[in-house]
């Protein structure tokens, strides 16, 4: 029988992952869970969320699921606030990404969506989580894309969004640091595919190592080595 006078057992730290799917999002969620986090997972569809949540629960961790259209910035902020109401956020990761194609052929909605999902939603999520992150010396991590460094015409719309995200992250980092919050970006300079140098599990491992290095630069360019 437990001692009624004993203090309650501390909760596991709480990680929020915005943009979960079967690839890197799943690998990152498992990595965070393996490091001892309970998770709130966010994605647009149950098909993306449910398998990842099941994996996390099978690891003995708690996994909350939230359906969120990441293109809807108000919905992203509200979802992060709901996650905070459940438990203080220690780690906030933005992994959502969408929109490819040529800039010359893209309609205004596609341009807005790319910048919104890749960059603006990431900023809005940080704003919503800031009280938690600041109170607990939290960590913000973002999945960047090498397409921001070397844009290509056929991926111009995605490059636009990832470049905006990279600029936002580098601008946010010193502001967050002044509040005791660490910011880390892994800019993946290649196409994510199972097996080989850009396997999602391998990337997630590199991401976690970068995030835990207190002396690391804000951004690491990941080229599939190390």
pLDDT in tens, 27-61: 999 999 999 999 999 999 999 999 999 999 999 99
Q: What is the mean pLDDT of the chain?
A: 92
**Which two three-digit tokens encode residue 66?**
């939230």
pLDDT value at residue 62: 96
Beta bridge partners of 63: 39
Instruction: Please identify which residue in the block is written with the tokens 């986090």.
Output: 37
**Choices 3.90.180.10, 3.30.420.40, 3.40.50.720, 3.30.70.270: CATH for 14-222:** 3.40.50.720
- Alpha-carbon span 27 to 6, nearest angstrom: 37
Say which range, 1-10, 20-29, 80-89, has the weakest mean pLDDT.
1-10
pLDDT tops 50 at residue 214: yes
In this prediction, residue 215 has a pLDDT band, given cuts at 50, 70 and 90, of very high
Instruction: Encode 43-70: b = buried (16+ Cβ within 10 Å), e = exposed.
Output: bbeeebbeebbeebeeeebbbbbbebeb
pLDDT at 225: 79
pLDDT digits 0-9 by tens, 21-34: 889 999 999 999 99
Please count the CA atoms within 13 angstroms of the CA of 214 that sit on its side-chain side.
4
For the cut 80, the answer to whether the pLDDT of residue 226 exceeds it is no
In this prediction, residue 99 carries a pLDDT of 73
User: pLDDT tens digits, residue range 5-17?
Assistant: 434 446 899 999 9
Q: Are 39 and 29 in contact (CB under 8 A)?
A: yes
């Amino acid at each position: 029988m437990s001692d009624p006078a004993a203090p309650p057992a501390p909760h596991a730290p709480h990680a929020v992952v915005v943009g979960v799917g079967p690839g890197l999002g799943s690998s990152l969620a498992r990595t965070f869970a393996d490091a001892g986090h309970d998770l709130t997972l966010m994605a647009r569809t149950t098909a993306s969320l449910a398998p990842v949540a099941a994996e996390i629960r099978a690891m003995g961790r708690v996994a909350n699921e939230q359906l969120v259209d990441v293109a809807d910035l108000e919905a992203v902020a509200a979802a992060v606030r709901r996650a905070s109401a459940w438990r203080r956020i220690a780690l906030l990761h933005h992994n959502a990404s969408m929109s490819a194609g040529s800039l010359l052929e893209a309609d205004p909605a596609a341009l807005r969506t790319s910048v919104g999902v890749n960059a603006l939603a990431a900023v809005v999520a940080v704003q919503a989580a800031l009280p938690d992150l600041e109170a607990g010396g939290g960590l913000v991590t973002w999945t960047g894309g090498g397409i921001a460094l070397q844009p290509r015409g056929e991926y111009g719309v995605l490059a636009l969004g990832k470049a905006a995200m990279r600029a936002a992250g580098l601008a946010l980092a010193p502001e967050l640091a002044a509040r005791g919050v660490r910011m880390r970006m892994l800019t993946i300079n290649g196409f994510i595919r199972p097996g080989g140098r850009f396997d999602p599990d391998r990337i997630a491992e590199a991401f976690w190592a970068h995030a835990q290095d207190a002396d690391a630069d804000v951004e690491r360019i990941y080229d599939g080595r190390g």
